[in-house]
Amino acid sequence: MQEPLQKPAFSKQALLHCAGIVGAGLLYSLGINLFVVPTGLYTGGIMGFAQLLRTLFLHLTGLELKIDIAGIINYAINLPILCIAWKQLDHRVVFKTLLSVTSTTVFMSLIPRTDILHGDQLAECLIGGILCGCGIGITLWMGGTTGGMDVIGMMLIKKGSHTSIGHVNLFWNMALYAICAAAFNLSTAIYSILFSFISTTAMDKLHMQNINVEVTVVTKVLSPEMEHEILVDLHRGITRYEGIGEYTGEPVHIFYILVTKYEISRLRAIVCKHDPHAFIVAKDGAVVYGNYKRKL
């Protein structure tokens, strides 16, 4: 008797995603080491905090290192965050995030810090912001994150918080750039904010068009509890209409819901809890106009 073919542990798509994340880590590291570090600017998020710790360490010790240890510090901070996230988030997202953080750390350690534009801060903000933003956007597009505050924001959303990843990053970065302004000078803080704005814009161009997901749920169970959880806990609207199953001839309830791809697993868990036999269809890349709450 012929044995059934086993599904490979890593599909071709998964390998392409991993390759894309490594390539994105290279883009991000080029932006940091060639345009951000030589100009003395600071990125946002945990990486920006790691840069501040690096500067403080070098100032206190008087050492001159050939590599940028900000990547190593960033890696050390992210490890405990990812360990906590492993218990709360989709393991694939956590694995891809670990791959992103690891590849970024390696590339930042290998790529020499070279001021190729000779101190032209405006040009370095522009080019560095585009490179870093594209790197982050590709990572998100491939289903991972760059770690740090993104992961913390996702865990808060998972726990039902009505905050967003964007808000978490915004508050963190406000505090970070306030420290930059106080510890260094106002010019450093302003150019760092400009860099952050450019990188966020570049990231959104790649990422936001791939984040919305249309979900259609076909179920024979009309559960007020399920609707309540989607409306109140997930904080997403529902359009409900009735249908007939052509094969069985039985009436069914059809729900149309628009969520982000980070909320899919939570929505599926809610639906399957009330109807394990529900039919769920998800379609990526929905373009949305009108009253739709963006959480990222």
3-state secondary structure of 265: helix
Alpha helices in the chain (DSSP H): 12-31, 45-61, 70-86, 91-110, 121-141, 149-158, 165-183, 186-207, 224-228, 264-274
Q: For residues 280 and 274, what is the distance between their CA atoms, to the nearest angstrom? A: 13
| Phi and psi torsions of 278, nearest 5° | -65, 150
Taking alpha carbons only, the member of 137, 148, 169 closest to residue 24 is 137
Taking alpha carbons only, the member of 104, 82, 123 closest to residue 27 is 104
What are the tens digits of pLDDT across the range 115-143? 888 778 889 899 999 999 899 889 888 88
Bridge partners of residue 35, in order along the sequence: none
Q: Which pLDDT value is given to residue 287?
A: 73
Q: For residues 20 and 201, what is the distance between their CA atoms, to the nearest angstrom? A: 20
Q: For residue 3, is pLDDT > 60? A: no
- In CATH terms, 211-284 corresponds, of 3.40.50.1110, 3.30.70.60, 3.40.190.10, 3.30.70.120, to 3.30.70.120
How many residues are given for the chain?
Answer: 296
What are the tens digits of pLDDT across the range 90-116? 888 899 999 999 999 999 889 888 888
3-state secondary structure of 135: helix
For CATH 3.30.70.120, list the domain ranges present in the chain: 211-284
Q: For residues 135 and 141, what is the distance between their CA atoms, to the nearest angstrom? A: 10
What are the tens digits of pLDDT across the range 260-295? 877 888 899 999 999 999 999 998 777 777 777 665
